[in-house]
C-alpha cells in the first residue's frame, strides 16, 4: 500500500470517526426567547406564579417521541430539566442527548412563550411591581411534554416536536 493511499485511508477513517462521535455525544443547543408581545390595554389580569417541568422520561422507550435519557442520567434532575431531544441513527437506536445550556431549562424557556400566548389571547400578564399584581389571577403551569425527535423515511427526514402544558 502506498503512502498516499495509507494517508487517504487514515484521513477517511478519522473523518468517519469524527462524524459518528458527534452523533453519540451530547449536543448543547441554546434556544433564544421569543420577542415579547406587549400587554393589551384592556384584558383580564393574570400572573404566572410558577412554571414547573412535569415531563416523564423513559430508558429505552418503544418510540422516539417518548422523552428518554441514558440509564445513568435518567434520574439526574439537572439534566432532565435541560433535555429536549435525543439523536438517533437511521435504525432508531438512541444516541446522544440534546440539552439546553446550563443557564437554561425547558420550564425557563416556556415562561416567555406562555406570557406571549396569554397576551395574544387578550390577557394582561403582570409582573411583580405592577400596581394590580396582587389582584391578578394566579396561574400555575405544568410542562407535560416538550420533546423533539427525527423520523427517518425512505425519501425524507422528518423533524417533529411535541409540546403540551397544563
pLDDT tens for the chain, 166 residues long, are 554 555 454 444 444 444 444 556 778 999 888 899 999 999 999 999 999 999 999 988 888 888 988 888 889 999 999 999 988 777 777 778 899 999 999 999 999 999 999 999 999 999 999 999 999 999 999 999 999 987 777 777 778 899 999 9
Residue 127 contacts residue 133 (beta carbons within 8 Å): yes
- The pLDDT score that the predictor gives to residue 18 is 45
What distance in Å separates the CA atoms of residue 126 and residue 44, rounded to the nearest whole number?
Answer: 10
**Residue ranges covered by each domain of the chain:** 26-165
Phi/psi at 23 (nearest 5 deg)?
-80, -30
Reported pTM? 0.78
Q: What 3-state class would DSSP assign to 15?
A: helix
- The H or E element that residue 96 is part of is strand 94-99
Residue 69 contacts residue 75 (beta carbons within 8 Å): no
- The pLDDT score that the predictor gives to residue 20 is 46
Residue 93 contacts residue 102 (beta carbons within 8 Å): no
- The pLDDT score that the predictor gives to residue 16 is 41
Tell me the β-bridge partners of 156: none
- The H or E element that residue 165 is part of is strand 157-165
Q: What 3-state class would DSSP assign to 140?
A: strand
Amino acid at each position: 500500500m502506498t503512502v498516499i493511499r495509507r494517508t487517504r485511508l487514515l484521513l477517511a477513517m478519522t473523518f468517519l470517526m469524527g462524524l459518528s462521535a458527534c452523533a453519540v455525544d451530547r449536543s448543547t443547543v441554546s434556544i433564544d426567547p421569543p420577542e415579547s408581545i406587549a400587554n393589551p390595554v384592556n384584558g383580564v389580569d393574570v400572573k404566572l406564579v410558577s412554571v414547573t417541568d412535569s415531563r416523564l422520561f423513559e430508558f429505552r422507550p418503544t418510540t422516539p417521541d417518548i422523552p428518554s435519557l441514558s440509564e445513568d442520567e435518567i434520574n439526574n434532575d439537572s439534566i432532565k430539566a435541560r433535555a429536549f431531544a435525543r439523536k438517533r441513527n437511521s435504525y432508531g437506536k438512541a444516541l446522544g442527548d440534546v440539552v439546553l445550556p446550563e443557564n437554561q431549562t425547558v420550564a425557563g424557556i416556556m415562561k416567555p412563550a406562555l406570557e406571549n400566548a396569554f397576551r395574544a389571547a387578550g390577557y394582561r400578564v403582570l409582573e411583580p411591581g405592577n400596581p394590580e399584581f396582587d389582584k391578578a389571577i394566579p396561574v400555575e403551569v405544568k410542562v407535560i411534554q416538550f420533546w423533539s425527535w427525527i423520523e427517518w423515511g425512505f425519501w425524507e427526514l422528518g423533524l417533529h416536536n411535541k409540546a403540551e402544558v397544563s
